[in-house]
Structure 1
Amino acid sequence: MPTDPSVTGLFIDGVWEHGRERLAVLDKFTGERVAELSVPGPDEVDRAVAGAAVAAGRPWSVTARAATLRGAVARLGARRAEIVAGYVAETGFTPADAATELDRTLQIFELCAQEAERLTGELVPLAGVPGHERSLCFTQRVPVGVVVAVTPFNAPLSTVAHKIAPALAAGNAVVLKPAEQTPLCAVAMVEALHAAGVPDGRIQLLCGPGETVGDRVVRHPAVGYVTFTGSTAVGRHIRAVCGLARTQLELGSNSPTLLWRDADLDLALPLVVRAGFRKAGQVCTSVQRLLVHRDLAEEAAGRLAGLVGALHHGDPRDPGTDVGPVISAESGERVAGLLADARSAGARVLIGGRQCGSMVAPALLADLTGAARLAVEEAFGPLVAMSTVDSFEAAVAAANRTRFGLQAGVFCRDLDVAFAFARELRMGGVIINDTSSYHPDPMPYGGVKDSGQGVEGPRYSVRDMTDSRTVVLRLRDPAG
């Protein structure tokens, strides 16, 4: 949480400014106001993008980019306790989740610094083309210019890092619009980058509603690339209004994890519980649907009910808390509505599900049917819904029977079957012997269908946030 009164949340061309309106940041458990940030008007949004475009046109060496990112790592690490406290307040997640995400953020920044140092083009062979034997052709990777990063509330450290660090490593200027519910971690990152010497204009920060601030910034004609994590509906809107800017979109999900007939339940079940309920289930790859082979269904349900029942939900600052609140009371009501709909469609609630405001008791359901909204929609809440499958074909059909396709988990010891699932599941990632939520930061990460387009991951994002420039030397025969 900003303690320096000059840190307003509105950062344009190296200066903290005061906007026309104020954004209240609330503690997601107590409801208390923990900070107020400035919200830009249309003029400030336009100035931020214009300033980024000017900055992007100035030279910025690879060594300076890498040094800036590593300097930010040192500064963020030195503020660990403060950043963790702000994270817990603005998200409602536990300190353990905050510490894990901060560690990931530091790694992402370092990985992107390394990618800046090895970013290169390629040599194009022309010797085999008649008349071009002496031509030398190669490509260079050059920055796209202005990158707009629009980030979600559920990962206000690591997801922001996955967008702004690659953009800076590639030599771009970035306009960052964090989620209005959770902007404090983004403020801390911008402070760290500024202190580490990022050139004025290379990082601009605009806090405020997506409907106004976000919409105006993605429409700006000077923007060359938009990276967005959020709902499919907003992703479609961005694609429709951003003109010729390239996009990387990580959108909705309805992630399945499969327990095949030979699954190791001792391995699988604790991982399912962790992946289903961390951050109160508000993770794109949370285990929402658990597809269990009929041979294991009874045992898995009984053991999972015990594990879920042992989870403590409540104040995220309590050392014994496993699951805190969802982001708002409205979100809690939405999750409760999905549970009620599932029950009316034939599902059984084995444990949990009681809702009071933003608190929802971790819930485990059995006998989820295809008629329930939970079978096809994204819950983004603390629940896992089980369905029983009898065959490989039924498991594949159930997993694929949604408009989403981000990641799937498969617990299976038979490699032939495991690889068959990897071939048949229409997902951006298929994780064998872990859940749908498996996501080390260096790996390519992205979805298909309504889960988006493009992939994140330092190596992949840095390259994607550049353009390829072809250079040809038409060399002559020195003897001629």
Structure 2
Amino acid sequence: MLTDTKKTSTIPVYNSYTGEIIGSVPQSSEQDVMNALDTAKKGEAIGKKMPASERISILKKAVLLMEQEFDVLANLIATEGIKTISQAKKEVTRALQTMQLSAEEASRISGATIPFNAVPGSEDRMGYELKCPIGIVVAITPFNDPLNLVCHKLGPAIAAGNPVILKPSDYTPLVAIKFGEILFKAGLPKEMLSIITGAPEYFGDALISDDRIRLISFTGGVTAAKIIQRKAGLKKMVMELGSNSPVIVLSNADLEDAVQSCVSGAFFASGQNCVGVKRVFVDAAIYDSFLKKFVAQTATLKIGAPLTEGVDIGPIISKQALNEIDQFVIESIDHGATLIAGGKKIGNSYIPTVLVADCNNDIANCKEVFGPVVTISKVENLEQAIDCCNKSPFGLHAAVFTNDIQNAHKAINGLECAGVMINDSTDYRIDAMPFGGVKLSGIGREGVKSAIEAMSETKVVCFKLKK
């Protein structure tokens, strides 16, 4: 169920590269949210009775329909979002994997037997635990992965038998609506999905505060997360928030591989990626070589229209975001950083930017920038690099390039983050792995299996047997 398309109040959806209007969606109201909650309550009853085989069938049919609509989905991502067409196709491929994995995990939801008779006085008891749907899920998704992150919330919710109210980003609602249509065509009951669109100031409090909601799954910024947490009340929450993911490159690393991985990780999706490479701490012995190669490879990246094959850098999502990136670069320089490359806007895009800064630069090496900007800093040893990484208030992913297993384990144990990639970019991720952050980077874990666990409740069953 979508919000009322007969409403006269709508908001435009733009081509993020050209600025042209490509569509519109309803501006939802509190009443729309109340209607969606009433519908979801009916969906809750349907989901509880829906056997796993039916949930699996819906998810598998959705995968087949997504494959048929592959190009449509990719073009929507590349038009309303920030990815080039090749990056958008990669996202659709991952979304297919996420939904397929959701179908597979739906068949593996299970409890366990409980050894009641191991406790003196309970010798005549036996029992087990069941995994039950948690109830109404509110899913709030961002613009940077407008299909796959929707799949990461809706796929597990359906697998677990829960109804969902989806609030996609105002910038990228069209692909989310298209995916909703695919789910309904795959057989999902209309009562199990509603999509709320538009600026949240008109309905946000109602969407997160109603007591019928049992879980909020939010991917977005820290400021919004704090507001949600303050207003939500007693609900389970899963939050994947910001980061400024660091990389450590040691002198015994494969230099070419480290450079290639860091450039790719820094500038994929124009740097608008929560696990994208933002800070690189390089051993002094190879610092000059790394910096030279990094800048040279960055200069080869092609900026242009997202639907053009061969383009590496597409648009920034909004003028406001462009200005925020520019301000970050200016503030970093004011605090002592040196601009090595980039630092300029081109239309709605931003040139891939390389800063050099001292490890203690509290802007360049601590704040989050959601754009194609990376800071490179020289360190004397691994211990200093770990300390520099940990000064950040964020803790999502980190990466270490080294051929020394001892150094790898020292970094794994010392880094304050939720994921450590060895000899790979911070943005490496598969959809089956637990995903989330520590510190300001989040609460709980996503990833299909982890999300299903969060979206389920445990019910204990105990039988007292006759003697």
The TM-score, its normalising length taken from structure 1, stands at 0.95
* SS of alignment partner, residue 360 of structure 2: coil
- Corresponding residue for 2:7? 19
Q: Is the 8 A contact 1:206 1:213 kept in 2?
A: no
Question: After alignment, is 260-269 or 369-378 more displaced?
Answer: 369-378
Deviation for aligned residue 1:367: 2.5
**Distance in 1, Cα, partners of 2:8 & 2:191:** 21
- Corresponding residue for 1:216? 206
1:51 to 24, 34, 39: 39
- Corresponding residue for 1:6? none
Query: Given the superposition, is the C-alpha separation of residues 341 and 214 from structure 1 closer, same or farther in structure 2, using an over 3 Å criterion?
Result: same
Q: Is the 8 A contact 1:285 1:436 kept in 2?
A: yes
Q: Is the 8 A contact 1:367 1:386 kept in 2?
A: yes
1:320 paired with 2:310, answer yes
- Corresponding residue for 1:41? 29
* SS of alignment partner, residue 300 of structure 1: helix
1:74 paired with 2:67, answer no
Question: After alignment, is 356-365 or 382-391 more displaced?
Answer: 356-365
Query: Given the superposition, is the C-alpha separation of residues 126 and 157 from structure 1 closer, same or farther in structure 2, using an over 3 Å criterion?
Result: same
Deviation for aligned residue 1:369: 4.6
* SS of alignment partner, residue 117 of structure 2: coil
* SS of alignment partner, residue 138 of structure 1: strand
1:123 paired with 2:113, answer yes
**Distance in 1, Cα, partners of 2:201 & 2:368:** 21
* SS of alignment partner, residue 149 of structure 1: strand
- Corresponding residue for 1:229? 219
**Distance in 2, Cα, partners of 1:253 & 1:271:** 18
Aligned residue runs from structure 1 range 176-215, under 5 A: 176-215=166-205
**Distance in 2, Cα, partners of 1:106 & 1:289:** 31
* SS of alignment partner, residue 455 of structure 1: coil
Opposite residue 107 of structure 2, the aligned amino acid is E
- Corresponding residue for 1:4? none
- Corresponding residue for 2:403? 413
**Distance in 1, Cα, partners of 2:132 & 2:374:** 45
Q: Is the 8 A contact 1:142 1:170 kept in 2?
A: yes
2:52 to 50, 57, 62: 62
* SS of alignment partner, residue 257 of structure 1: strand
Deviation for aligned residue 1:373: 1.6
- Corresponding residue for 2:463? 473
* SS of alignment partner, residue 203 of structure 2: helix
- Write out per-residue CA displacement over residues 147-172 of structure 1, whole angstroms, 9 at most, x where no aligned residue: 00000011001111111110111000
**Distance in 2, Cα, partners of 1:19 & 1:180:** 17
- Which sections of structure 2, spanning at least 5 residues, go unmatched? none
**Distance in 1, Cα, partners of 2:227 & 2:8:** 26
1:380 paired with 2:373, answer no
Deviation for aligned residue 1:449: 0.4
Opposite residue 421 of structure 1, the aligned amino acid is A
Opposite residue 2 of structure 2, the aligned amino acid is F
- Write out per-residue CA displacement over residues 359-382 of structure 1, whole angstroms, 9 at most, x where no aligned residue: 210111123452342211110101
**Distance in 2, Cα, partners of 1:368 & 1:92:** 31
**Distance in 2, Cα, partners of 1:217 & 1:203:** 14
**Distance in 2, Cα, partners of 1:120 & 1:34:** 45
- Corresponding residue for 1:167? 157
**Distance in 1, Cα, partners of 2:79 & 2:204:** 23
* SS of alignment partner, residue 87 of structure 2: helix
Q: Is the 8 A contact 1:65 1:168 kept in 2?
A: yes
1:30 paired with 2:21, answer no
Q: Is the 8 A contact 1:280 1:324 kept in 2?
A: yes
Aligned residue runs from structure 1 range 446-461, under 5 A: 446-461=436-451
- Write out per-residue CA displacement over residues 17-75 of structure 1, whole angstroms, 9 at most, x where no aligned residue: 43341021000111000011112211111110121012102221111111111111111
Deviation for aligned residue 1:210: 2.9
- Write out per-residue CA displacement over residues 313-369 of structure 1, whole angstroms, 9 at most, x where no aligned residue: 121122231001110122111111111122222222221121144221011112345
Deviation for aligned residue 1:206: 0.7
Q: Is the 8 A contact 1:331 1:358 kept in 2?
A: no
1:146 paired with 2:136, answer yes
- Corresponding residue for 1:360? 350
- Write out per-residue CA displacement over residues 190-219 of structure 1, whole angstroms, 9 at most, x where no aligned residue: 000000110121011111123333432111
- Write out per-residue CA displacement over residues 238-288 of structure 1, whole angstroms, 9 at most, x where no aligned residue: 111111110000011111011012111121111111110011000001101
Query: Given the superposition, is the C-alpha separation of residues 341 and 47 from structure 1 closer, same or farther in structure 2, using an over 3 Å criterion?
Result: same
Deviation for aligned residue 1:435: 1.5
Task: Report the identity percentage.
Answer: 32
* SS of alignment partner, residue 224 of structure 1: strand
- Corresponding residue for 2:256? 266
**Distance in 2, Cα, partners of 1:271 & 1:214:** 39
Question: Cα RMSD (Å) of the superposition?
Answer: 1.3
**Distance in 1, Cα, partners of 2:205 & 2:293:** 46
**Distance in 1, Cα, partners of 2:250 & 2:228:** 39
Question: After alignment, is 456-465 or 203-212 more displaced?
Answer: 203-212
* SS of alignment partner, residue 350 of structure 1: strand
* SS of alignment partner, residue 310 of structure 1: coil
Q: Is the 8 A contact 1:179 1:209 kept in 2?
A: no
**Distance in 2, Cα, partners of 1:192 & 1:279:** 25
Question: After alignment, is 135-144 or 349-358 more displaced?
Answer: 349-358
- Which sections of structure 1, spanning at least 5 residues, go unmatched? 1-9
- Corresponding residue for 1:244? 234
1:393 paired with 2:391, answer no
Opposite residue 434 of structure 2, the aligned amino acid is P
Opposite residue 25 of structure 2, the aligned amino acid is L
Q: Is the 8 A contact 2:86 2:309 kept in 1?
A: no
Q: Is the 8 A contact 1:341 1:372 kept in 2?
A: no
Opposite residue 291 of structure 1, the aligned amino acid is F
**Distance in 2, Cα, partners of 1:134 & 1:112:** 39
